[in-house]
Structure 1
């Protein structure tokens, strides 16, 4: 949604209160169906102002009296800059997530944007009219046994945009005049002004808003174990646990847990009572960036432990324990200059090997990796 509103059609926001016929499961079970899918919204959609989102997604200025030449197509005026052209006092229109995903927004600007007709056709053909799945409605849990939904949180994330005509030819005929962010329990504009809206419990991962990220919490079972622990190695003293928290489908899970300043946490939501034949876990990593989360050492450690736990024949728990996190490799040991010894003395010891060039390199695990991992069964 930068040069062309249709450039990001596949990842448009949608309302969590609107759905189409659930033909996804019928398709996998071999059922047959005919006709167009039905798109329905429940009462909450029309009682809320923002389709469940923090604010209106798009706020756009359009001329009060349509002037055709104010929005030239590329073929009509290829190199003109018409920013000074008079086209009447603008009218600002606002659109919710539902009004974007169902095509209302594209219809409203059809006379002012030469690409809108194509977008409406593509939206209807490939999304709203898809006989198997409309991805612009809330997704049901994938039909597989294990689902791990992992994302970053608590970062400054865009949730709304203000657009105005630029006077330039398509595809540069719109410019972003302001951006609304969710961050630290408030909505703020790019200029720093507070904005009214529905503030979520936390913010997203700098790219995807929290509302979209947290939709997979709907896939959890009726009872959930919630654990919050520091991302770094820890001895368990700052681990907070709530067991068998009741979870109602469609409602967010927000634990009342404390946070120490300057400490990054990872919050685990894991089935205590699963859906039949299913196992679901949600991991929220504080300050983990959307693009860089796959390179996070913390995430790699947690995935390694979980995969090792799942394939081990002696595993006793449904998920790997969160009680503590100590060094798992020689590379995780280091020298504590304040105490003049290797940090984590229960795990690491000083053991010089020829070629070590500093004290930290000589700190190594006391035990084999297999022995260390046995504590996480």
Structure 2
């Protein structure tokens, strides 16, 4: 380990660093040439003229950098001699981030001064959290190549090559694009008392809904509900606080297996958002958040034919009612009552 606390790889020895700045692992692991003074990628002739005894084992040095060391510029300064674009990047880091009172990554990202905040994201998908780089031998801008990738997936860390990676994996993983550590940061905006509900994403009668009320939440710590999961069932976990921060309402929704790019097209998300908005504008609403007790069909399109029972599913809500133009049994399954009557259950 060097004087700055970086991991250094010499020959076959590897010194493991436990401090990842709260991240599951070091974000960047990079091989840099051990020779300075004639550019990052000298020719074979230039290498032959150098006294190789000055190179430890004749191998490049590998440094590892945590999230903090990338945010504060330590990583970029460490490779400044090996990349001609680093001076521009350091200038951008300072002017666009460090000097910005909102975007500065070195200061806490506090709850925005808004009355209502809903933070919604997907979880439990394979997501990149770390990278291994090495010199490519090519001129800029192709001077670095990725030699390996570290992924988080449901509480474990794996490399692209299939090896288990040591680190601090979270209880969940990200949405295939953004790591869970970043997505779940908005849980810090919840107050000291949080209500947690876990419910199936599909329509349900409430039998598999789990609720924990007034769960203690410590600032800058994740909240891990003591709840079970049935196999092959996708859930939404709601973290809701409308009491412990006076005058403000904060909610975090974690949607199992929701992809980052496709979440806005998720029928489940659209249903939940629509119900919450309808609840908020209804004059008879008595609770701060829409109930999660059950989710029944709300439109004719939500009714379908149950071939096992030879009838329309959700018999309490749906009935078989053929209309001219229906081409299969499912199209003839329609709501018994109007949507207005069904929505009264969600106040």
TM-score by length of 2: 0.89
CA distance change for structure 1 residues 211 and 85 in 2, over 3 Å: closer, same or farther? Answer: farther
CA distance change for structure 1 residues 83 and 242 in 2, over 3 Å: closer, same or farther? Answer: farther
Equivalent residue, structure 2, for 1:175: 145
Equivalent residue, structure 2, for 1:9: none
CA distance change for structure 1 residues 132 and 54 in 2, over 3 Å: closer, same or farther? Answer: closer
Equivalent residue, structure 1, for 2:13: none
Equivalent residue, structure 2, for 1:292: 262
Q: Does 1:327 align with 2:270?
A: no
CA distance change for structure 1 residues 363 and 125 in 2, over 3 Å: closer, same or farther? Answer: same
Equivalent residue, structure 2, for 1:215: 185
Structure 1 residues 120-129 or 51-60, which shifts more?
Answer: 120-129
CA distance change for structure 1 residues 218 and 132 in 2, over 3 Å: closer, same or farther? Answer: closer
Distance 1:248 1:185 in 2: 21
Distance 2:164 2:96 in 1: 38
Equivalent residue, structure 1, for 2:271: 301
Q: Is the 8 A contact 2:135 2:144 kept in 1?
A: yes
Equivalent residue, structure 1, for 2:317: 347
Distance 2:180 2:138 in 1: 34
Residue 118 of structure 1: how far off its partner (Å): 0.6
Equivalent residue, structure 2, for 1:367: 337
Superposed CA offset, 1:141-188 (max 9, x none): 111100000000011111110000101111111000000111122111
Secondary structure of 1:68 counterpart = coil
Q: Does 1:165 align with 2:135?
A: yes
Residue 133 of structure 1: how far off its partner (Å): 4.7
Q: Is the 8 A contact 1:60 1:164 kept in 2?
A: yes
Equivalent residue, structure 2, for 1:101: 71
RMSD: 1.8
Q: Is the 8 A contact 1:244 1:272 kept in 2?
A: no
Secondary structure of 2:82 counterpart = coil
Distance 1:192 1:132 in 2: 39
Q: Is the 8 A contact 1:225 1:272 kept in 2?
A: no
Q: Does 1:257 align with 2:246?
A: no
Secondary structure of 2:186 counterpart = helix
Structure 1 unmatched ranges of 5 or more: 1-46, 73-81
| Aligned counterpart for 1:274 among listed residues 244, 261, 264 | 244
Structure 1 residues 133-142 or 248-257, which shifts more?
Answer: 133-142
Equivalent residue, structure 2, for 1:310: 280
Distance 2:301 2:244 in 1: 37
Secondary structure of 2:81 counterpart = coil
Distance 2:176 2:44 in 1: 32
Distance 1:131 1:323 in 2: 42
Structure 1 residues 59-68 or 148-157, which shifts more?
Answer: 59-68
Secondary structure of 2:80 counterpart = coil
Where in structure 2 are the equivalents of 1:144-163 lying within 5 Å? 144-163=114-133
Equivalent residue, structure 2, for 1:76: none
Residue 68 of structure 1: how far off its partner (Å): 3.0
Structure 2 unmatched ranges of 5 or more: 1-16, 49-57
Equivalent residue, structure 2, for 1:44: none
Q: Is the 8 A contact 2:40 2:81 kept in 1?
A: no
Q: Is the 8 A contact 1:217 1:252 kept in 2?
A: yes
Equivalent residue, structure 2, for 1:90: 60
Secondary structure of 1:251 counterpart = coil
Q: Is the 8 A contact 2:39 2:81 kept in 1?
A: no
Equivalent residue, structure 2, for 1:3: none
Where in structure 2 are the equivalents of 1:93-242 lying within 5 Å? 93-131=63-101, 133-135=103-105, 137-242=107-212
Q: Is the 8 A contact 2:175 2:257 kept in 1?
A: yes
Residue 131 of structure 1: how far off its partner (Å): 4.7
Equivalent residue, structure 1, for 2:19: 49
Superposed CA offset, 1:30-77 (max 9, x none): xxxxxxxxxxxxxxxxx96100111111000001112534448xxxxx
